[in-house]
């Protein structure tokens, strides 16, 4: 029974948010060393605002995970699990605890790190509060799931088509992310804004020219690779049948470009706000044009990688972009090249 529950309620959760977990693994496991993890944990335990922000982050993760389980319970394919409603709450805890522990693996690992750092620092209040928070969230989450199993859920066969009803094409992918990958969208956008804020902060601290900001845009755009991978899968999957409807290239490219702009709005707003203090407004203009071209270029790269299965091209493209920035290649020309690459991916009238 344990293996069945794990395959039914854990695997789908990690599969649904695979891009987010890959992103977290890359950021925490590749770009951060052990020393940096320990320093960050120490800072969190010594600063009340950082500690409260961590608890809020954990709470947000808990809410997403709990409601995702609820959505699975509503799925008609999970009707066989209604038998769990005949169990008492104590027996339900015994059956469903492995599911909760597996889905909370990321939080539990970071909690162990905080305890490892906090005990020598004698941060007893923070450690005890964190453990109490996990205990309470464990009980509330399992009780919420227990109540959902005991409720009757009418079958809704057309629920997956909601994103296509009475909404313009420009919003289809946005609503797809909202319905199926909300955590992926929110976390990647948060990471992107955090990275850009850090680059602007270091730029204004002195010692850098605007190429440093251009490199920051490059890093933030590659951090959004999972979103454009999701867009590729969305086009190849849910929009597959639209290939039978050939469309004019100009109309199709303009429509897709507006989708890119909508998803780039948070970063464009931050660049305009943070860049208002730059001495040379022309450099700010180059940065805006560069950012507008980067994301279509990343999508074109994702499309090529998925078709040809050449994943090393991602690292090579990042390195070439880094070299182009270092040697002062014109950012506007780079942007035009990347937009042209994106246009090439839409050149076929039967390509979505």
* CA 75, 78, 82, 87 torsion-angle sign: negative
User: 10: which DSSP letter?
Assistant: T
pLDDT in the model for residue 159:
47
DSSP string, 26-41: HHHHTSS-HHHHHHHH
What is the Cα–Cα distance from 3 to 59, expressed in whole angstroms?
27
What is the Cα–Cα distance from 131 to 108, expressed in whole angstroms?
10
How many CB atoms neighbour CB 334 within 10 A? Answer: 21
Provide the token pair at 48: 């009340």
Residue 165: strand, helix, or coil = coil
Provide the token pair at 285: 């203009």
Phi, psi of 122 (to 5 degrees): 60, 40
Q: What is the largest CA-CA distance in the chain?
A: 69
User: 156: which DSSP letter?
Assistant: -
Provide the token pair at 300: 């074109």
Q: Determine the angle formed by the axes of helices 48-74 and 105-121, rounding to 10 degrees.
A: 160
C-alpha Rg value of the chain to the nearest Å: 23
What is the Cα–Cα distance from 191 to 258, expressed in whole angstroms?
23
pLDDT in the model for residue 196:
84
In this structure, are residues 339 and 297 in contact, taking their beta carbons and an 8 Å threshold?
yes
pLDDT in the model for residue 40:
87
In 276-311, where does DSSP find H-type helix? 281-308
How many CB atoms neighbour CB 50 within 10 A? Answer: 13
Q: What is the pLDDT along the chain (352 residues), one digit of tens a residue?
A: 677 887 788 877 877 776 677 677 666 654 565 677 788 889 899 888 889 999 999 998 888 888 888 888 877 777 777 777 777 888 888 888 888 888 888 888 889 989 999 999 888 999 999 999 999 999 898 888 888 777 755 555 544 444 445 677 777 787 777 777 766 777 788 788 888 888 888 888 877 888 889 999 999 999 888 888 888 888 777 776 665 566 677 777 788 888 888 888 888 888 888 888 787 888 889 999 999 999 898 988 888 888 888 888 888 989 999 999 998 889 999 999 998 888 887 766 555 5
pLDDT in the model for residue 158:
45
What is the Cα–Cα distance from 5 to 87, expressed in whole angstroms?
15
pLDDT in the model for residue 136:
92
Tokens 């609820």 -> residue: 70
Phi, psi of 88 (to 5 degrees): -75, 165
* Terminal Cα distance for the chain, rounded: 42
Residue 193, CA atoms < 13 Å, CB-side half-sphere? 16
User: 152: which DSSP letter?
Assistant: -
């Amino acid at each position: 029974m344990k293996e069945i529950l794990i395959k039914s309620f854990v695997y789908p959760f990690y599969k649904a948010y695979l891009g987010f977990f890959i992103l977290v693994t890359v950021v925490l496991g590749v770009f951060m060393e052990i020393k940096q993890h320990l320093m960050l944990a120490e800072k969190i335990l010594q600063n009340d605002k950082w500690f409260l922000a961590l608890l809020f982050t954990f709470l947000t993760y808990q809410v997403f995970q709990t409601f995702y389980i609820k959505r699975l319970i509503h799925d008609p394919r999970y009707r066989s699990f209604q038998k769990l409603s005949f169990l008492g709450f104590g027996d339900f805890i015994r059956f469903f605890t492995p599911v909760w522990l597996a889905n909370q693996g990321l939080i539990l690992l970071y909690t162990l790190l905080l305890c490892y750092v906090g005990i020598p620092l004698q941060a007893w209040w923070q450690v005890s509060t964190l453990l109490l928070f996990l205990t309470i969230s464990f009980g509330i989450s399992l009780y919420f799931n227990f109540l959902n199993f005991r409720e009757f859920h009418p079958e809704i066969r057309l629920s997956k088509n909601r994103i296509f009803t009475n909404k313009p094409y420009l919003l289809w992918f946005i609503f797809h992310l909202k319905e199926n990958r909300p955590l992926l969208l929110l976390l990647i956008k948060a990471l992107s804004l955090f990275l850009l804020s850090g680059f602007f902060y270091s730029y204004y601290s002195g010692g850098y020219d605007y190429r440093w900001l251009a490199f920051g845009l490059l890093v933030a755009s590659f951090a959004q690779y999972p979103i454009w991978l999701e867009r590729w899968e969305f086009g190849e999957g849910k929009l597959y049948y639209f290939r039978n409807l050939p469309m004019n290239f100009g109309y199709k490219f303009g429509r897709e470009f507006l989708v890119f702009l909508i998803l780039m709005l948070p970063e464009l707003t931050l660049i305009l706000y943070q860049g208002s203090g730059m001495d040379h407004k022309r450099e700010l203009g180059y940065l805006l044009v560069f950012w507008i071209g980067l994301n279509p270029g990343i999508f074109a790269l994702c499309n090529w990688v998925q078709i040809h299965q050449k994943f090393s091209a991602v690292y090579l493209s990042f390195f070439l972009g880094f070299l182009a920035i270092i040697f002062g290649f014109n950012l506007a020309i780079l942007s035009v090249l990347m937009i042209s690459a994106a246009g090439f991916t839409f050149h076929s009238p039967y390509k979505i």
